[in-house]
Amino acid sequence: MPVAVHVLGLSVFALGTSEFMLSGLLQPIARDMGVSIPQAGLLVSAFAIGMVVGAPLLAAATLRLPRRTTLVVLLAVFGLGQVAGALAPTYGVLFASRVVSALACAGFWAVGAAVAVSLVPVDARARAMAIMIGGLSIANIAGVPAGALLGQHAGWRAAFWAVAALSAVGLAGVLALVPATKPTTGEDAPRLRAELRIYRDRQVWLALVTTALNAAAVFCLFSYLAPLLTETAGLKESWVPTVLALFGVGALIGATIGGRVADAHLFGTMYGGIGASAVVLAALALTADMAVVAVGLALLLGVAAFMTAPALNARMFNLANAAPTLAGATTTAAFNIGNTIGPWLGGLVIAAGWGYPAVAWLGALLAALAVGTTAVASRLHRGPSRVVAGSAGAAVRTPSQVG
């Protein structure tokens, strides 16, 4: 695997740490900024929404720019967003810094994913994506708990400074190790109107819906895992960071497994990962009051959820082969749509008074729906599938050529 792919994974570690570390910093931020916990929680939503909006917009805006230059600029903007957050004098400035950081993060994910798959053969795309996703998994294992710990002992602003430093390391790595490319010109130059043709393919939409449903299923429960563990399972709050880290360990294991098997067994990995998520979530709903079992299932949920991620990404790149940047952008947007809708639906269930186990049941239902969309995609995959084969137009590919 090219070292440049590992550099992109390191950069994703910084991005992922920033995205998720606020879950452990909400209370000190709320106290320092003089806002409520729900208001501080909007900083998390701001980042997710920025990812949804930013991924396709920045992918389109940078379509004709050299990719390494784009990655460098986006990492620099992201790092400056972290500095702005660390220095923010008011809640409004902090909120704006999160939106800017999210836009840069979304653009980096989209372009970085396209670069990663361009550096490897077609039959190694899932492995390349597994390395990038592994950066996110390690962020959950180490970055997020470290950010929370740093925030507790040195103030929440110190966590932002630390991520800014990580961004600088990633930027240096991209400059040194990611190969420079010149934008194509003439007839081979990418054209936005031509690349938008990928959205005419129903298989592309099925892939996006499946990604969103899978993310919604997992993060519907993950967002409320801490209160489920303390209020339903009866664990002490001091155990929560450990369980969250176990979820991250499971995520890294799952991404590694998915990266190894998805290239050869794409739909099998999707069925296995999403189906396992549904089973684990249902089991968690049934055993939520058993602390030891709940902790073990949190680990298994990380494995199941992230085993699917390389396959979902590779599937989209295979379908939209001629529009890799838009493919990465829309997959990123779909993931974050699920990451936004899932917790919102879970909150509705809790507000209705149905309890935290009901949130796990809801997650299982969403995962089951994702299995259903996978089944539809698999059936269509066995027939002729119309996908964009080049920026100048479309072509028909046989099942052996697609996916």
Q: Is the pLDDT of residue 392 over 70?
A: no
Helices then strands, counting H and E runs in the chain, come out as 16, 2
Percent of the chain past pLDDT 70, that is, above it, reads 84
Instruction: List pLDDT tens digits, range 141-162.
Output: 777 777 777 777 788 899 899 9
pLDDT attached to residue 184: 53
Distance between CA atoms of residues 170 and 174, nearest Å: 6
pLDDT attached to residue 181: 66
Distance between CA atoms of residues 11 and 350, nearest Å: 36
- Tokens at residue 173, please? 């790595």
Q: Is the pLDDT of residue 8 over 80?
A: yes
The residue that leads in pLDDT, 26 or 215, is: 215
Distance between CA atoms of residues 309 and 53, nearest Å: 21
Domain 187-403 in the same topology as domain 1-183:
yes
Residue 390 phi, psi (nearest 5): -160, 160
Distance between CA atoms of residues 99 and 86, nearest Å: 14
Distance between CA atoms of residues 288 and 171, nearest Å: 43
What's the whole-number average pLDDT of the chain?
A: 79
Q: Among 97-111, 187-201, 235-249, which is the least confidently predicted range? A: 187-201
Do 402 and 381 form a contact (C-beta atoms < 8 A)? yes
The residue that leads in pLDDT, 158 or 21, is: 158
pLDDT attached to residue 369: 95
pLDDT attached to residue 192: 59
pLDDT attached to residue 195: 63
Q: Among 17-26, 232-241, 337-346, which is the least confidently predicted range? A: 17-26
Distance between CA atoms of residues 75 and 106, nearest Å: 11
As a whole number of Å, the end-to-end CA separation of the chain is: 21
Distance between CA atoms of residues 74 and 84, nearest Å: 15
Instruction: List pLDDT tens digits, range 261-279.
Output: 877 788 888 899 999 999 9
Percent of the chain past pLDDT 90, that is, above it, reads 17
CATH superfamily of the 1-183 domain:
MFS general substrate transporter like domains (1.20.1250.20)
Residue 358 phi, psi (nearest 5): -65, -30
Our measurement of the distance from residue 198's CA atom to the centroid of its chain's CA atoms, rounded to an integer in Å, reads: 21
**Matching residue, tokens 């099942």:** 399
Distance between CA atoms of residues 293 and 17, nearest Å: 28
Instruction: List pLDDT tens digits, range 65-117.
Output: 777 888 889 999 999 999 999 999 998 899 999 988 988 888 888 788 778 87
Architecture of domain 187-403: Up-down Bundle (1.20)
Give residue limits of the domains in the chain: 1-183, 187-403
Secondary structure element (H or E) that encloses residue 13, with its range: helix 3-20
Q: Among 183-187, 217-221, 314-318, 369-373, which is the least confidently predicted range? A: 183-187
Q: Among 36-45, 185-194, 336-345, which is the least confidently predicted range? A: 185-194
Average pLDDT, integer, range 10-21: 82
The residue that leads in pLDDT, 325 or 39, is: 39
**Matching residue, tokens 């796990």:** 360
Secondary structure element (H or E) that encloses residue 389, with its range: strand 385-390
